[in-house]
């Protein structure tokens, strides 16, 4: 799909530029005339939405960095200064803070779409891996950004997450401690930690932007997957990216911005935590340390086992599963539209992940299903959050390590259409030439 260029320079300047730096040719071939499957549904608009999210975060972040002070004694008040005294500082900060949540919301939909429609399968493995790298970078960036306001949750979030690495002392004594000391720049989370987190929080988004460039490049070599999972066979299966998908993406982006704006202007603290409005105090530990909502499923996996090292390894493995996915799924059929069994396992997987997120926000000993009563305190006892986390985490891993490898070998799939155009033709369309309906000039 890539390779052949349809760009024709129209002015003498464009011709002059084209033989020196064919940048307009590249823009034309990737964003204007790029042949895109005509059957992409709204789940495919989240790529564009994510690009908008990244730009919003970088632009608002640049402005915030002009006013923020990365110093343990001044950071909290400098954020309040932004909220109170900087012109429209409240808006810029609330866009940035809620923008992180919106970014993750969109990336989770984007990943789920890839999981369902098999977008990780050949020949798109590199595309998928680059996406996983972006997701990892996003998590690091968001975590370090959350530390910067230097509230109680910022501080204790940093303490908890950096301390995870000390678990490696169990593997090689001293190594875990050395890693945490190196991360902190000292022997506790302190000013040095805040400074380096600010520096890295400024750097990583540009690395994300770079990998996004590679991600789009890797997308444009095989071209988009599509809801049928069937490869593009002819020109009739596609439409040019512009104006067909520019307008569809624009519509989806605007709907997304409506949701985004609702949070920014009417519920800006809804996704935050009251404790983070209290300046960091190393001597007072909050009763309930919770990460931001987008990390809760991993937090639940971390806490699901009583052993810290295994908890940490499981948490990292949960993300490693995504990297291995292209080689775990044995099915030859890309889209789960034609895999009735896989579809159910996928839906349960989504439910399990959401359930893990719910568990991550609760205390491990909270009771989900009360069976009895504690003889002394009268508190209900029974099936607790930590036990539910174990069940759900087991399914999470089983989905990748058992279901997808085995299902592909045994399941009975439905008939996959020959071409993208087949399913949209009236009455099965077998008797009509494929793609006939895609020619605008032949229809009303």
Partner 1 sequence: MTDLSMGFRTAFSRVRVSMLAVLAVALFGVAAQPALAKTTAREAEGVSFSFEGPFGVFDQAELQRGYKVYAEVCSACHSMKLLSYRDLAQAGGPFYDPKHPNLPPAQSPYAKAIAAQYKVSDIDHDTGDVIERTATPADHFRAPFPNEYAARAANGGALPPDLSVIARAREGGPAYIYKLLLGYEEPPKGMTVPDGKYYNPYMPGDMGSFWSGPKDKVPEGGFISMAKQLTPDRVQFDDKTPSTAENEAHAVATFLAWAADPHMVERKQTGLAVMLFLLVFTGLTYLSYRQIWRNVAH
CA-based nearest residue to 139, from 108, 174, 95: 108
230 DSSP 8-state letter: P
Interface pick for partner 1 out of 50, 107, 239, 301 (rule CB under 8 A): 239
Interface pick for partner 1 out of 387, 401, 411, 418 (rule CB under 8 A): 387
Dihedrals phi, psi of 380, to nearest 5 degrees = -65, 145
Residue with tokens 């020619």: 439
8 Å CB contact between 433 and 424: no
Using CB under 8 A, which residues numbered 171 to 230 contact partner 1? none
Interface pick for partner 1 out of 43, 90, 217, 358 (rule CB under 8 A): 90
Q: How far is the CB of 146 from partner 1 (least distance, A)?
A: 16
Span from 125-133, 182-190, 237-245, 327-335 in contact with partner 1 (CB under 8 A)? 237-245
Angle at 174 between CA 172 and CA 177, to 5 degrees: 120
Residue 342: enclosing H or E segment and its boundaries?
Answer: helix 340-361
Exposure letters 116-134 (e unless 16+ CB within 10 A, then b)? bbbbbbeebebbbbbbbbb
What is the per-residue binding string for partner 1 in 23-52, x denoting contact by CB under 8 A? ---------------xx-------------
Q: How far is the CB of 193 from partner 1 (least distance, A)?
A: 16
Long-range contacts formed by 214-221: CB under 8 A, 24+ apart: 214/130, 215/127, 215/130, 215/131, 215/134, 216/30, 218/124, 218/126, 218/127, 218/130, 219/47, 219/124, 219/127, 220/1, 220/2, 220/30, 220/34, 221/1, 221/2, 221/123
Q: What is the largest CA-CA distance in the chain?
A: 89
Interface pick for partner 1 out of 278, 321, 348, 416 (rule CB under 8 A): 278
Interface pick for partner 1 out of 244, 293, 323, 358 (rule CB under 8 A): 244
Interface pick for partner 1 out of 2, 30, 71, 163 (rule CB under 8 A): 163
Asked if 443 touches partner 1 (CB under 8 A), the answer is yes
Nearer to partner 1, 111 or 315 (CB): 315
3-class DSSP state of 215: helix
Span from 17-25, 65-73, 115-123, 244-252 in contact with partner 1 (CB under 8 A)? 244-252
Q: How far is the CB of 212 from partner 1 (least distance, A)?
A: 24
**H helix and E strand count, the chain:** 15, 4
Q: How far is the CB of 48 from partner 1 (least distance, A)?
A: 13
Nearer to partner 1, 213 or 382 (CB): 382
Q: How far is the CB of 10 from partner 1 (least distance, A)?
A: 22
Asked if 390 touches partner 1 (CB under 8 A), the answer is yes
Q: How far is the CB of 229 from partner 1 (least distance, A)?
A: 16
CA dihedral sign of residues 102, 106, 109, 112: negative
Q: With DSSP H G I counted as helix, E B as strand and the rest as coil, what are the percentages for the chain, rounded to 5?
A: 65, 5, 30
Asked if 67 touches partner 1 (CB under 8 A), the answer is no
Asked if 258 touches partner 1 (CB under 8 A), the answer is yes
Asked if 274 touches partner 1 (CB under 8 A), the answer is yes
Interface pick for partner 1 out of 136, 209, 310, 319 (rule CB under 8 A): 310
Number of residues that bind partner 1 (CB under 8 A): 77
What is the per-residue binding string for partner 1 in 363-382, x denoting contact by CB under 8 A? xxx-----x-xx-xxxx-xx
Q: How far apart are CA 179 and CA 163, in angstroms?
A: 9
């Amino acid at each position: 799909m890539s390779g052949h260029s349809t760009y024709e320079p129209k002015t003498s300047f464009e011709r002059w530029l084209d033989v020196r730096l064919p940048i307009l040719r590249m823009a034309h071939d990737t964003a204007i005339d790029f042949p895109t499957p005509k059957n992409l549904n709204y789940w495919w608009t989240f790529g564009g939405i994510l690009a908008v999210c990244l730009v919003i975060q970088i632009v608002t972040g640049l402005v915030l960095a002009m006013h923020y002070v990365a110093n343990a004694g001044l950071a909290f008040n400098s954020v309040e200064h932004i909220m109170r005294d900087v012109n429209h500082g409240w808006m810029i900060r609330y866009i940035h803070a809620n923008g992180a949540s919106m970014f993750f919301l969109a990336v989770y939909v984007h990943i789920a779409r890839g999981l369902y429609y098999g977008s990780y399968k050949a020949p798109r493995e590199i595309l998928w891996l680059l996406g996983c790298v972006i997701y990892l970078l996003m998590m690091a960036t968001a975590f370090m950004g959350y530390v910067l306001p230097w509230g109680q949750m910022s501080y204790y979030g940093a303490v908890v997450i950096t301390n995870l690495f000390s678990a490696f002392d169990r593997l090689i004594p001293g190594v875990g401690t050395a890693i945490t000391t190196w991360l902190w720049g000292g022997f506790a989370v302190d000013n040095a930690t805040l400074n380096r987190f600010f520096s890295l929080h400024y750097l990583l988004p540009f690395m994300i932007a770079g990998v996004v460039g590679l991600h789009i490049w890797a997308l444009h070599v095989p071209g988009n997957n599509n809801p049928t999972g069937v490869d593009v066979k002819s020109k009739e299966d596609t439409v040019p990216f512009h104006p067909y998908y520019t307008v569809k993406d624009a519509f989806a982006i605007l709907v997304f911005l409506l949701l985004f704006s609702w949070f920014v202007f009417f519920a800006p603290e809804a996704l935050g935590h009251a404790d983070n409005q209290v300046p960091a105090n190393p001597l007072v530990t909050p009763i309930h340390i919770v990460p931001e909502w987008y990390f809760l499923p991993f937090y639940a996996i971390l806490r699901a086992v009583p052993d810290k090292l295994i908890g940490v390894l499981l948490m990292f493995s949960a993300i490693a599963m995504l990297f291995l996915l292209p080689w775990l799924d044995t099915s030859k059929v890309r889209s789960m539209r034609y895999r009735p069994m896989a579809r159910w396992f996928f839906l349960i997987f989504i439910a399990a992940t959401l359930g893990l997120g719910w568990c991550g926000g609760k205390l491990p000993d909270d009771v989900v299903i009360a069976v009895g009563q504690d003889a002394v305190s009268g508190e209900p006892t029974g099936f607790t959050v930590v036990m539910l986390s174990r069940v759900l985490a087991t399914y999470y891993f089983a989905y990748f390590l058992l279901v997808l490898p085995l299902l592909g070998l045994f399941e009975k799939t439905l008939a996959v259409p020959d071409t993208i155009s087949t399913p949209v033709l009236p009455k099965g369309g077998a008797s009509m030439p494929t793609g006939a309906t895609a020619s605008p000039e032949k229809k009303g």
